[in-house]
Structure 1
Amino acid sequence: MNLQYPMAGLRGARTVSLVRGGRRAIAALSEDGGAPVCRARDFQMAAEVPAQAEAVADARRQLSLLLQRSGLSDCIDTVALVAQELMVNAMVHGCGNRAGLQFSVRAMHEHGRLRVEVEDPSIEQPHPRPPAADEEGGRGLHLVDALVTRWGTDGSVAGKTGKTVWFELDLPGEEAAS
C-alpha cells in the first residue's frame, strides 16, 4: 500500500512528512529551506507544484536534495533529469500552462526501487513521437525510456480526472541496501 503524506507546498514549509521504515516521521527542513534531512533509505514524499517554470525548478532541487540527504546521490542526475521532463510535460501539456493549475509530484524509495510519479489534470496520455531533425521538442519521452528501468502511465482514479506518469529505477548494489 502506498501511503502519501503531502507537503505543505515547496516554499514556506517548515516540516515535511516522510515514511521511514514503515512508520511516519516528521523531519525539519534544512536551514536553507531545502529538502528534509532523512538518513533512511526508504522514504515517501509528495508535493503540489504550481504549473510554473520556477516551481518546476524548485521541485527538481527539492527532489535532488532529498535524494542526496537520503544517501542516494549516485542517481540524482538521472532522477532529476527524468523528473524534470515529466514535470515540464505536466506543466505544458497536462495543465496547458494555465496559471492557477497545479500538478502533484510523489517520490518513494523502498527495497532498492525508486519511483517518481507526476500527476496532472489532463486525461490525454503521453506518447513518444519521432521528432524531425530541426524540431526542438519530441525527444523527452525517448530520453525517459533510455534512462529508467521502466515507465508508464496510470489513468484517473475514481472521482478524479487526470493521469499519472511514473518512472522507476532499480538501484544496484549499495544503493539498493535499505
Structure 2
Amino acid sequence: MTSPNDLTFRLSRSRGSVPRARALLHAVLGGWGVAQEVVDDAELVLSELVTNALRVPVPSDRQIGVRITRSAAEGLLRLEVSDAGGGRPEIREPGGEETGGRGLLLVAALAHSWGYEERAAGIGKTVFAELKAPDIVAEPAVRKVAAVMVRAGQTVRVRSEWRTVLGVRSGHYAAGGPAVVLELDDGPSLWVHAAEPVTVRTGECSG
C-alpha cells in the first residue's frame, strides 16, 4: 500500500536490505520536507530496526516488512519493521567489551517513543519508533517524490507531458538495483529507479 502519507515495502533477508531501506527512507523524507537532523536520526533508527529483524531466527524465505508514515498535524514520523519471528524486543545493557547489543539503546535514545505490537494478521511482530519531525509538510499539489511513492491514479510528468498512472509494479534492473515500473495511460511503461525523483500532480486520483 502506498499513499501520500504512507509508504510500505518488503525486504529480503539479505545484508543489502539495510542500505536499501536507508536509501528509500532518505528519498521519501526529502520529499516530505523533513529536517536533515531528523533524517539522520531516522536513518539510524531504521537501520537498527531492520538489522534486528534480520537477526531473528526465521526461514530465509520470510521477508521483512517496512512501513514509513507521517502526520503533518502532529509533527510525527513513524517507522515500523515487521518480521515473522517471536520473542519480545528488549533493551540490553551489554558489557564494555561487547561490540553488539546496543541497537535498541540507540533507538530508545533517538526516538520520541518506541515499542512493539503483535501482527494483527499472520505470525510475528512489528517494532515501531516515532520521531518528532516538526518541519514535516503536508502534501503540495505538484511535488517531487521518490518513484517508489507513486501510486495508481496519480498523474506524473514524463518529459514535457502529464500521464496518468494506471498501475505500479516492482522491477529489478539487470545491472542491479530496485526499479519501479509505471504503467501509463499512453505510451510504453516507464522504468525508474526506486529512489529516483518523479514529479507528480495530486488531487487527481481515481477511486
TM-score, length basis structure 2: 0.61
TM-score, length basis structure 1: 0.71
Structure number with larger C-alpha Rg = 2
Structure holding more helix per residue:
1
Structure 2 CA distance for partners of 1:101 and 1:108, relative to 1, 3 Å? same
The answer as to 2:116 corresponding to 1:153 is: yes
CA distance in 2, matches of 1:62, 1:73: 16
Amino acid at match of 1:99: S
Matching residue within 129, 132, 150 for 2:95: 132
Tell which deviates more after alignment, 80-89 or 128-137.
128-137
User: What number of residue pairs does the alignment pair up?
Assistant: 135
Structure 2 CA distance for partners of 1:156 and 1:121, relative to 1, 3 Å? same
Q: CA deviation at 1:150?
A: 0.2
* TM-superposition CA deviations, 1:52-81 (whole Å, max 9, x none): 111221111111111012211421110000
Q: 1:99 is matched with which residue?
A: 60
Q: CA deviation at 1:154?
A: 0.4
CA distance in 2, matches of 1:80, 1:103: 17
Q: Is the 8 A contact 1:56 1:88 kept in 2?
A: yes
* TM-superposition CA deviations, 1:97-149 (whole Å, max 9, x none): 75322110000001211101001001211111110111111111111111010
Structure holding more strand per residue:
2
Q: 2:105 is matched with which residue?
A: 142
SS in 2 for 1:122: coil
Alignment gaps of 5+ in structure 1? 6-16, 21-42
Q: 1:167 is matched with which residue?
A: 129
Give 1:1-12 correspondences, 5 Å limit. 5=1
The answer as to 2:84 corresponding to 1:121 is: yes
SS in 2 for 1:91: helix
Amino acid at match of 1:108: T
Q: CA deviation at 1:92?
A: 0.8
Q: Is the 8 A contact 2:58 2:85 kept in 1?
A: no
Amino acid at match of 1:102: Q
The runs of 4+ residues in structure 1 deviating greater than 6 Å are none
The answer as to 2:18 corresponding to 1:56 is: yes
